Amino acid sequence: MFDLLNLPGVKPVDFRGEGGVITIVAEALDVDLPQCPQCARPLYRHGKRTNLFADTPMQMQPVRLEITRPRYRCDTCGKTLTPELIFLDERRRATKRLVDAIRQRCLWMTFHSLAQKTGLAVNTIKNITQDLIEELEQTVRYETPVIMGIDEVNLAGDYRCVITNLSTNNIFQILKFRTKDYLKPFFEKLHDREKVEWVFTDMWRPVNESFSAYLPNARLVIDKFHVVKMASEALEEERKKYQSILTKDERLHVKKSIRWLTLKRPASLTPAEHAALEIVRQSIPALAEAYDFKEAFYRIYDDPDKSSAKWAFEAWENTLPENKLERFHSLAKTVHNHYEDIFAYWDSPSQITNAYTECLNGLIKIANRMGRGYSYEIIRAKTLYAKHARKVGNGVRLATPSLDTVSTRGIVETVEYGPHIPTLIEIAEAGGLE
Ligand SMILES: [Zn+2]
């Protein structure tokens, strides 16, 4: 019979196809009688033993190997043994090549479809995946970011903590939750902790309270994104109040564009939106006033100088009318509550200005494209260890030669920064993360 198995030490002797499963009957090739590992005396044949192992699918059908091996027995100590076949993973009851094929796919396919294709139990697939994830956890190491972003993104049904490298636009780590219970051990175990110079995040206090003891050189910055977002939300609140006041005719003109007034800067308004804004100015001056406060708040960030930005904020706050525009008043309060960390933005590296927003928007895009029905652990591994997003030119860069990276043999080692967010988005948009 033609050796369709191509596995060392066995030859196929029969072949059955039944119930959508291909069974290949194989026999171990004759070997010299082995010695007893304990007594070093020759062993004697002692019957045969037949076991079933799953192998890589053929013609889209699961394959089972029915392998018959001789058993041997030692007359002196009574030990019996069955010769090992190097291509078998005895623990998984499968060939190693099948286990490898599953490891290649288990982060990209559901456990159920892999179980169906291979004939293995769902639990076996889960265990193989678990082993792979643990192995990746031990072996994959990303370079500690100098400028670190800490965000919350909805993954697998809950808000997860995503830690990014803002200088390279890579994901560095994902934690189950953004609480001290998860953040503190993360910072405590972080290698090269002294490398971190900046931590960009929002107003969530546990972040600051978790890292300050562990990162000796890091300074917290509450990113502009989260601060100006509050101004947009404040305007949005006012818009909802007034939307119903408009006449039907006005609403037709304004409805479509009015929402954009809350989100867009004047420079990016279309002529139609400008016209809508004018209608709002005439018919609802109070809403136009709110719009102007939102715009004035955004302009604080246009100021490149820290002390004049502080002045601009003070002027803005002083002109807020009393007893109205409540959300703008609470925005002012928030700024005071986080004053140093919000204005630390002006001390931070200028190249990072848009990196944080881009990073966060990218993460949200990826999260929205993530397949449903996966556990958090799988989604985390899919994202964090995505092979294609870690390839050279994206996630992996050659480190600039320095004492750290040029080994004594003069070999430049590659430094990995983690999965590259724009590449992950491409993969996600092509359906690769579903
Ligand atoms: Zn023996």
- Predicted local distance difference test score (pLDDT) of residue 270: 85
Nearest to 338 by CA among 430, 220, 253: 220
Cα of 39 vs centre of ligand 1, distance in Å, is 4
Count CB-CB contacts under 10 A for residue 61.
13
SS3 140: coil
Distance (angstroms) between ligand 1 centre and the Cα of 101 equals 38
Q: How many residues does the chain have?
A: 434
Q: Are 206 and 185 in contact (CB under 8 A)?
A: no
Using the mean position of ligand 1's atoms as its centre, give its distance from the Cα of residue 47 in Å.
17
Q: Which residues pair with 173 in a beta bridge?
A: 163
Biggest CA-to-CA distance, the chain: 105
Ligand 1 centroid to residue 71 C-alpha, Å: 14
Compute, in angstroms, the gap from residue 80 CA to the centroid of ligand 1. Answer: 8
Backbone angles phi, psi at 178, to 5 degrees: -95, 60
- 147-222+354-429 folds as Nucleotidyltransferase; domain 5 (3.30.420)
Specify whether the CB–CB gap between 95 and 52 falls below 8 A. no
Task: Work out the number of other CB atoms within 10 angstroms of the CB of residue 361.
Answer: 14
- What is the residue-wise DSSP string for 214-254? T-TT-EEEE-HHHHHHHHHHHHHHHHHHHHTTS-HHHHHHH
Find the 318 Cα to ligand 1 centroid distance in Å: 93
Measure 172 CA to ligand 1 centroid, in angstroms: 54
Cα angle for residues 194, 195, 200 (degrees, 5° grid) = 105
Distance from Cα 77 to the centre of ligand 1, integer Å: 4
Cα–Cα nearest to 171, from 427, 420, 426, 433: 420
* Nearest Cα residue to 148 out of 64, 220, 53: 220
Q: How far is the CA of 68 from the centre of ligand 1 (A)?
A: 23
Mean pLDDT by 10 residues, the chain (434 residues): 82 91 92 84 91 94 95 91 91 95 88 92 94 92 93 91 92 96 97 95 93 95 94 90 74 66 80 83 87 95 95 97 94 97 91 80 86 83 83 46 46 75 86 70
Q: What pLDDT sits at residue 414?
A: 67
155, β-bridge pairs: 158
| Structural contact between residues 206 and 180, judged by C-beta atoms closer than 8 angstroms | yes
- Cα dihedral sign for 335, 338, 343, 348? negative
Of 52, 45, 49, 3, whose CA–CA distance to 23 is shortest?
A: 52
- Residue 35 Cα to ligand 1 middle (Å): 8
Q: Tell me how far the alpha carbon of residue 153 lies from the centroid of ligand 1, in angstroms.
A: 61
Q: Report the alpha-carbon angle 140-143-144, nearest 5.
A: 120
47's tokens: 């019957």
Distance 70 CA to ligand 1 centre (A): 17
The alpha carbon of 400 and the centre of ligand 1 are apart by a number of angstroms equal to: 60
The three-class DSSP label of residue 126 is: helix
Q: How far is the CA of 32 from the centre of ligand 1 (A)?
A: 17
Please name the residue that has the structure tokens 């949005």: 236
* CA 308 to ligand 1 centroid distance, Å: 88
C-alpha of residue 90 to centroid of ligand 1, in Å: 23
Distance separating alpha carbons of residues 161 and 173, to the nearest angstrom: 8
DSSP state letter for 35: B
Distance 33 CA to ligand 1 centre (A): 13
Cα(69) to centroid(ligand 1), Å: 19
The answer to whether the Cα torsion of 235, 239, 242, 247 is positive or negative is: positive
CB 217 within 8 A of CB 193: no
Output DSSP code: residue 213.
Answer: T
Structural domain boundaries in the chain: 10-137, 147-222+354-429, 224-347
- How far is the centre of ligand 1, averaged over its atoms, from the C-alpha of 42 (Å)? 8
Tell me the CA–centroid distance for residue 75 and ligand 1, in Å. Answer: 7
Confirm if 22 and 55 have CB atoms less than 8 A apart: no
Pairing relation of β-strands 198-201 and 219-222? parallel
CA of 44 to the centre of ligand 1 (A): 10
| Span from the CA of 88 to the centroid of ligand 1 (angstroms) | 25
C-alpha torsion 29→31→37→39, nearest 10: 140
User: One-letter amino acid identity for 58?
Assistant: M
Residue 220's pLDDT is 96
Structure tokens at 269: 């308004």
Contact 94, 124 (CB under 8 A): yes
CA-wise closest residue to 124 among 104, 101, 94: 94
The alpha carbon of 43 and the centre of ligand 1 are apart by a number of angstroms equal to 8
Centroid of ligand 1 to alpha carbon of 73 (angstroms): 8
Measure 357 CA to ligand 1 centroid, in angstroms: 70
Instruction: Determine the distance separating the centroid of ligand 1 and the alpha carbon of 141, expressed in angstroms.
Output: 47
Ligand 1 centroid, distance to 34 Cα (angstroms):
11
Q: 337 Cβ partners below 8 Å, 6+ apart?
A: 203
> Which residues have C-beta within 8 Å of that of residue 101, sequence separation ≥ 6?
56, 118
Phi, psi (rounded to 5 degrees) for 42:
-60, 145
Distance from Cα 30 to the centre of ligand 1, integer Å? 21
Q: How far is the CA of 45 from the centre of ligand 1 (A)?
A: 13
User: What is the 79 CA–ligand 1 centroid distance (Å)?
Assistant: 6
CA of 74 relative to ligand 1 center, distance in Å:
5
Measured at the alpha carbon of residue 194, what is the angle toward residues 193 and 195, in degrees to the nearest 5?
90
Q: How far does the centroid of ligand 1 lie from the alpha carbon of residue 37, in Å?
A: 7
pLDDT for 257 equals 59
